A and B are shown apart, each in its own frame.
Chain A
Amino acid sequence: MKITSHAFRMRSLLPTAVAVVMSPLLTSCGGGGGGEGGGENARTGIRLVQGAIDVAPLDLYDSGQLAATVRQAKFAAPSLYGGLAEGGHTVIATRANRPADRFTSQQVTVAEGDRFTLLTFGNTEGIGLRSRILKDAVPELGGQSGVRIVHGLSGAESIVASSPAIGASQSVSFGGDSGYKLVTPGPTRISFTRAVDGKNIGSVTLDALPDEAYSIFLLGEIDYFSAIRVAGDTD
């Protein structure tokens, strides 16, 4: 990542360096972009949602594999799904770029088309760090949209989600999820409060598409920094 004076010189020479252009271009084509997964979701696999506010970004490894399945899952930034083969797996979350610095491990058994979310939440001091595997088992939507609420917001034993679209208010306990609710496609506004005292947490407006499912994650720490994030579960 460090810049070098060589790099500066190279840039300044570019307009006159026509003769040497061919070789790097071929290298570039051969590389095919390289990098970190190419920005596509795996149809069968796992994603990482890092919701603990004092924890560094995490990498996720499939036991026995050298390359990370998910890289640099930052706080409040749901990753894409990394691919897992069918069968039993031990998935291991580590500090990013520190594969020996293990955060948690979980067992999953994967069938064709299965998707999972590894949620990390809590905090280092106080309630402690926690993790949970969710199976992202989207029901038959039949032209409707699916919405699931996942509660990883420290400082609230349970939260209440309210929206005309989901009918009655829905309570979700800490570390849990609501399961998928079918809603009419279109803009859906959902508000969140802390169950014990009605404290406002925030709201989100989701423009739900037909036959698509979404997870809404509540992350961070109430009274300090709360984050509400929406991630697609079917793309």
Chain B
Amino acid sequence: MASFVRISFILVLFLAAFRVQAQDAEVPASLLFDRDGDSIVKVGCFGDSITFGVGDGIPVGVDVEDITSSSGGGYPTRLSALLGVPVINSGIPGEELVASGQFRFPKLGGVDVVLIFEGVNDAIKQVTTGAYSRGLQRMVNIAAARGMEPVVVLIPPPCCNHGSLAPFTDAYAGSANDLASVNEIRVCDVARAWRTTCTNSDCELYNVPEGLHPNKLGYDVIAQTCAASILGIDIFTADGAAALESALGLPAGTVVVKPEVAQ
């Protein structure tokens, strides 16, 4: 009996060691933990009109030239529902990262994880990629210095009536991706989600032909992509959607983001 107990104890130790190693080696930890010691895990979403939720509530297939009304709260509301934690919507329509966002950012506080999603208004002003990258780096530095975990959201390319902005937003997304790699922080790759999930060039995740603000389905895609990123799930693998559904206790088929198909 004593030897059985001893062997069991050793096996438990082995299991514990293996579990730790497996997590360290292959499973990135969820970013959802209390970093500021206030006993509440809180997420902040910092950005412009897309963070604010302009264009939400409009279903796919409605012809939209200009957005006159929105409902639903955009991706922050969905993220809160998915993750089960409070999410602050710090989106200001029309805000540019370089001209104003980077100066508002130091006032953001009280969150443990912050998603930074700005740039389409910089594209309208044809801000250089270098200026965009420097501004974004400032925000990432401030977040880290204040104990927040930054997550950079990669901007999807606008289409249709705003398709001319795409070269700028693509350049910003590439630069933000490189910045995330250098800083060893996560991205929420909405640009990739658009690429895998849109079924045509006039992407149905946008209000079309407006082509700048996501519709109801588009905001679902953003929230699911960012939830996966925060939890450390690669949503673009063949079973990424199922993994996210399993992690969040969602019914099969709830996640609409499509996997990356090998060429």
Interface residue ranges of B23-54 to A (CB < 8 Å): 23, 26-28
Cα A75 to Cα B19 in complex, Å, equals: 33
Partner of B137, one of A3, A4, A56, A227: A56
Q: Is the CB of A95 within 8 A of B182?
A: yes
Is A65 close to B, CB under 8 A?
no
Q: A57-B182, A97-B184 are in contact. Are A4 and B234 (CB under 8 A)?
A: yes
Q: Is the CB of B145 within 8 A of A1?
A: no
Interface residue ranges of A96-141 to B (CB < 8 Å): 96-98, 124-125
Q: Is the CB of A14 within 8 A of B22?
A: yes
Q: Is the CB of A6 within 8 A of B26?
A: yes
Cα A3 to Cα B23 in complex, Å, equals: 10
Interface of B is mostly: helix
Partner of B145, one of A10, A25, A27, A227: A227
Q: Which residues of B contact A8 (CB under 8 A)?
A: 27, 243, 246
Q: How far is the CB of B189 from chain A (nearest CB, A)?
A: 11
Q: How far is the CB of B136 from chain A (nearest CB, A)?
A: 9
Considering the complex, give the chain A residue whose CB is closest to the CB of B240.
A5
Considering the complex, give the chain B residue whose CB is closest to the CB of A56.
B182
Q: Which residues of B contact A3 (CB under 8 A)?
A: 26-28, 232-234, 243
Q: How far is the CB of B113 from chain A (nearest CB, A)?
A: 16
Q: How far is the CB of B262 from chain A (nearest CB, A)?
A: 15
Q: Mark contacts of A1-28 with chain B using CB atoms, 8 A cut-off: 1 yes-contact digit, 0 otherwise.
A: 1111111101100110110011011011
Q: Is the CB of B19 within 8 A of A57?
A: no
Is A206 close to B, CB under 8 A?
no
Q: A21-B15, A96-B182, A98-B182 are in contact. Are A7 and B137 (CB under 8 A)?
A: no
Is B100 close to A, CB under 8 A?
no
Considering the complex, give the chain A residue whose CB is closest to the CB of B14.
A21
Is B196 close to A, CB under 8 A?
no
Q: How far is the CB of A206 from chain B (nearest CB, A)?
A: 19
Q: Is the CB of A96 within 8 A of B142?
A: no
Q: How far is the CB of A140 from chain B (nearest CB, A)?
A: 34
Is A84 close to B, CB under 8 A?
no
Cα A150 to Cα B243 in complex, Å, equals: 49
Q: Mark contacts of A58-98 with chain B using CB atoms, 8 A cut-off: 1 yes-contact digit, 0 otherwise.
A: 00000000000000101111000000000000000001111
**How many positions in chain B have a CB within 8 Å of any CB in the partner chain?**
39
Is B125 close to A, CB under 8 A?
no
Q: Is the CB of A77 within 8 A of B145?
A: yes
Q: Which residues of B contact A57 (CB under 8 A)?
A: 182-184
Partner of A225, one of B19, B137, B142: B142
Considering the complex, give the chain A residue whose CB is closest to the CB of B23.
A11
Q: Is the CB of A5 within 8 A of B26?
A: no
Cα A17 to Cα B238 in complex, Å, equals: 25
Cα A55 to Cα B138 in complex, Å, equals: 7
Q: Is the CB of B142 within 8 A of A53?
A: yes
Is B9 close to A, CB under 8 A?
no
Q: A2-B234, A3-B28, A56-B183 are in contact. Are A75 and B18 (CB under 8 A)?
A: no
Is B106 close to A, CB under 8 A?
yes
Cα A25 to Cα B18 in complex, Å, equals: 6
Is A157 close to B, CB under 8 A?
no
Q: Which residues of A contact B183 (CB under 8 A)?
A: 56-57, 74, 96
Between-chain CB contacts (< 8 Å), 20 pairs: A3-B28, A5-B239, A8-B243, A10-B26, A18-B14, A21-B14, A24-B21, A25-B18, A28-B20, A53-B141, A54-B141, A57-B183, A77-B145, A95-B182, A96-B182, A96-B183, A97-B182, A124-B134, A125-B134, A225-B138
5 cross-chain pairs, A with B, having the tightest CB-CB distances, nearest first: A75-B141, A7-B26, A21-B14, A76-B145, A5-B239
Spell out A's residues near B (CB within 8 Å): 1-8, 10-11, 14-15, 17-18, 21-22, 24-25, 27-28, 53-57, 72, 74-77, 95-98, 124-125, 220, 224-225, 227
Spell out B's residues near A (CB within 8 Å): 11, 14-15, 17-23, 26-28, 103, 106, 134-135, 137-138, 141-142, 144-145, 179, 181-184, 186, 232-234, 237-240, 242-243, 246
